[in-house]
Amino acid sequence: MNSLIQEVTEAYEALEPTKVARAIQSFAIDDLSNWHVRQSRRRFWKGEMSDDKRNAYQTLHACLRSLSVMISPIAPFYADRLYRDLTGSDESVHLASFPEVDAACIDSELEARMALAQQISSQVLSLRKRERLRVRQPLRRVLVPVLNEQMASRIETMASLIKGEVNVKAIEVIRDGENPDVSIVKRVKPDFKALGPKFGKRMKAVAAAVNALDAEGIVVLEREGRVAVDPADGQGEAMVEASEVAIMTDDIPGWLVSSIDGVTVALDISLDDALKGEGLARELVNRVQHMRKDAGLEVTDRIALTVDAAPELEAVMKDNLVYIADETLANEVCWEVIPGADKIELSEGINVALAVTKQD
């Protein structure tokens, strides 16, 4: 937040309202809504008003209040409504003091670690979406080749958070020189629109040299942001920037691969019975939670859960009964026929009937 306040203050002083709007939009959507609020959902959902729950709400309130003041010069009416709703007063946002930067609260290394975690998570979620793999279905692992030890350290520090966000069992960092059991092959594609104005008549020769880059050259390009190539036109080396090419990766059987802005991830999409069972358990929990909501139950209400499903489904999910009971607040989970109940789809070709009964 303090980094945003600093960026917005400098943009206003430079009379750049567009830069202000983009910075606030990025923070509000990417950092606050899609990341912080998602990560804090369980803190918000807790039944009792604990210190942790109170801190979660206070943090969100402080961020929204600061945002309302920062957007007030460029969105005066919306900012005023938001500010009044947050403060519960009739005082206008245009009478509030503009937020001041607290440099002591800026942790650049933490922000860098979090940004990397967000990028890795975003790439993995995009791969899931591409293959229509629901986030509720756990997967085995993600491999991340790193460019340096700093990147490795940042990923290892944030591994637990990333695993929870993308629902995988393990994040494996691949350092230079290590030989993983999966070979990730990268290739470089020249951006002719960028290379043309820079190299003119040399463009074709430079592009051919870029296409011929080996694995070592690609690592240099990713690590340094540029690489020297030696075109076959006899005019000497040419320096190519990372922004002038696209680094591509090919999928591997059983894996999905993505490479964006120097970050490569390989997602293991193979499923065994244990992973399938856990995925079905999560889908079942999701359906029960919707039933609780539709029945008007309080968040803290305990229930008895009855599941009407094929015996093979019960066998697959038997290792997840404790998880199902904990997540749905079920005192008991019974597997038996529910007469006349309509079945709902958990996954393709897998249907169940559910009954929820409130217990005192």
Where along the chain do its domains lie? 2-105, 108-183+255-270, 186-249, 274-359
Q: For 98-198, where are the E strands, in sequence order?
A: 139-145, 168-174, 186-190
Q: In this predicted model, what pLDDT tens digit does every residue of 116-143 receive, in sequence order? A: 999 999 999 999 999 999 999 999 999 9
Q: What is the CATH number of domain 2-105?
A: 1.10.730.10
Architecture of domain 186-249: 2-Layer Sandwich (3.30)
CATH fold, domain 274-359, is hypothetical protein PF0899 fold (3.30.2320)
Reply yes or no on whether the pLDDT at 1 is more than 90: yes
> pLDDT grade, residue 62 (50/70/90)?
very high
Report, as an integer, the average pLDDT of 199-208.
Answer: 92
Which residue in this structure is represented by tokens 């020189």?
A: 177
Q: How far apart are CA 31 and CA 37, in angstroms?
A: 9
Report, as an integer, the average pLDDT of 154-158.
Answer: 96
pLDDT at 115: 95
Q: How far apart are CA 187 and CA 11, in angstroms?
A: 39
Reply yes or no on whether the pLDDT at 178 is more than 80: no
Percent of the chain residues past pLDDT 70, beyond the cut: 99
Reply yes or no on whether the pLDDT at 334 is more than 70: yes
Which residue in this structure is represented by tokens 């002719």?
A: 192
To 5 degrees, how large is the angle CA 38–CA 132–CA 36? Answer: 10
* Average pLDDT across the chain, whole number: 91
**Closest by alpha carbon to 338, among 354, 356, 325?**
354
pLDDT at 82: 96
Q: Phi and psi of 301, rounded to 5°?
A: -65, 135
pLDDT at 227: 93
Least confident of 51-55, 89-93, 180-184, 214-218: 180-184
Q: In this predicted model, what pLDDT tens digit does every residue of 71-105 receive, in sequence order? A: 999 999 999 999 999 999 889 999 999 999 999 99
Helical spans, DSSP H, in 27-50: 38-39, 41-45
Q: In this predicted model, what pLDDT tens digit does every residue of 219-228 receive, in sequence order? A: 889 888 899 9
Domains 2-105 and 274-359 agree in fold: no
Reply yes or no on whether the pLDDT at 43 is more than 90: no
Which residue in this structure is represented by tokens 């690592």?
A: 219
pLDDT at 106: 93
> pLDDT grade, residue 177 (50/70/90)?
low
Classify the phi-psi angles of 42: left when phi > 0, otherwise alpha if psi is within -120 to 50, otherwise beta.
Answer: alpha
